[in-house]
Structure 1
């Protein structure tokens, strides 16, 4: 079972063809990137025009290195827009990040960096649309980059989560229906060409559905009531660990050992797709840094090797098992890959995490590069997921794609 529908694969393929810019994954010594705006948890920030966005990260080398940031504006398809810096920004960028602190009383040293925009250099972003912040080192090498969106609160976007109309998927998929209404704020002309949409599940851009066209209109309201084209696999709730206390075992943690730095050993997880759905409250793949050993979690939290175990009885057919979550922006790499231990008859890995509460799940990276999120966890229409819908509009003669509104809905309120 593939967990990217043909429609999603087709749309992603189109975007890659036209040269969209992808985020740059950080090196191993850059950890715990938290990028957030108005939302409660870190992820891909979606902020209203004029609101701040905050970027935090740790450098495990801990030598107070110099880092610089730049901001760029993009079209809907993540190709660079034609706007110059002074057209989308008041002030300037390409300046050093001055706000940083060194870790205090921790076994793993690190430097913690914090950047808020706007600031005295970058005073404000003047237009809505897609943005990317890039962090550079003193040698002008790109260290990492992250996307974010800025919107204007003009259009009214109503969103509903429905069960699939296809009986084959009624118990496993969730469908996002929505409408876009410019109302009195903005007149949407030629929506088939000038209006574009984006549906983001759980703040995970990698699983988004791009550029559905309105099916019909009722007055000024544009209606999108697709079924499979706007469907997502329901997935299952994320599982979690909480290691805010590194001196004692807590829920889901089997033991803790001090070997140079702390090592946290989790209980073995099992394949869940054959079990009935059970509501297990999560934070939709996110994480929160926290410690009870200090007053300031940003610089007093320890780094610990977290050991994962999966009792797996499914054939992988040449695929790979990975842990998956927003702890690294849903990136699959060597640090998330599990390997088989013949003596223990299970899959295992270890990865370095800062103390806190973390959501994660096990996914299968198939041979063709697709991510099968429900291969071990299952897919259920009852799963709680958050969906955001963004509307992009380029006016006649416009030079960039504005984000004219954002709507959201949660699958807790799913209907037939």
Structure 2
């Protein structure tokens, strides 16, 4: 090949590369513009006022796990208005909606629906109308943001390169609703799932998450420690279960302080101690109960084993008998919430493009709280993040599960836009990364 021909070939190659790079930048720019448009739509007065109305309706009428019938009805009514198809009932009260082509790939967005058995102490126009029940964990906001994401995505449905699956899930608060959704086969062909949770301590317009473990696995236990009741004035004629139970509580604390690796976060907390009803009577038995938590399966199983050994052993030292129930049939143990690494990269890209690099904390400290979103992550790549609902110009919001919790509704548009952007951009990226991906019809989901 002559020198001139070689130069021509090099110029030709450089020109092709330049065109390819320019096209990629243009596609990226168009995509980023669409993401920013999602936030603009969510912040419009029409959508924002609608979100506030929906959230307040749900807040006024809280329903506990697997009792979310009116919440489910409201969700279905709004989806009907948007002409979004859905399946119902799933897992008793759950609703699964679909937006897009009806073909693979499928990506899911999840919102939990249930409230807590708490009396709301905040005096405001839209206070809970149901005594002893309150949306004290922000699930009313979660449902609202997913409905708003549905509205945004439906408006852009022709641009969606696959199907977005909307998961309105019951019973996150102890009922394992995510597991029931999976057991029903509702998400069989979903390739990834995203979820969010409001955070009262993070400013509006900011998010926080991390790859890997972000929430702990959680289990519960209840033990009956039986002795021999009698008069408190003559304890030698009795076998005191209160003394035995007290030593059990103290000994259980040593499982973390003396047996666990200090670099492996674990928790054992006794939260229930019930026994006796008179000042001068030693009872026949005492009931104790609590929770244990860890980030690894090995540590979790070791805690469970040692909790049983300590309770039985300490009871025997004090001449009592003990039985332990880990309540597996009442509520399944929650696995650790572990964020997929590739989805973390995707989340950071989307969040930074939308909010700015200084608004995204991608290395938040893990929490010992638990979240049943973890059930999804056991069977598919999943990603879960915190959404800020604090505002520096207002008073500090109470923590989650507080009867004084107030939601800063200015955070709703950010959650809705992030939901929509994460799903739409994931489908686009998936189609690009997996060319010729097998396409399945909606009925197979």
Greater strand content: 1
TM-score by length of 2: 0.22
Point out which structure has higher relative CO (alpha carbons under 8 A, 6+ apart): 2
* TM-score for the superposition, normalised by structure 1: 0.23
> Which one has a larger percent helix, Structure 1 or Structure 2?
2
Q: Which has the larger radius of gyration?
A: 2
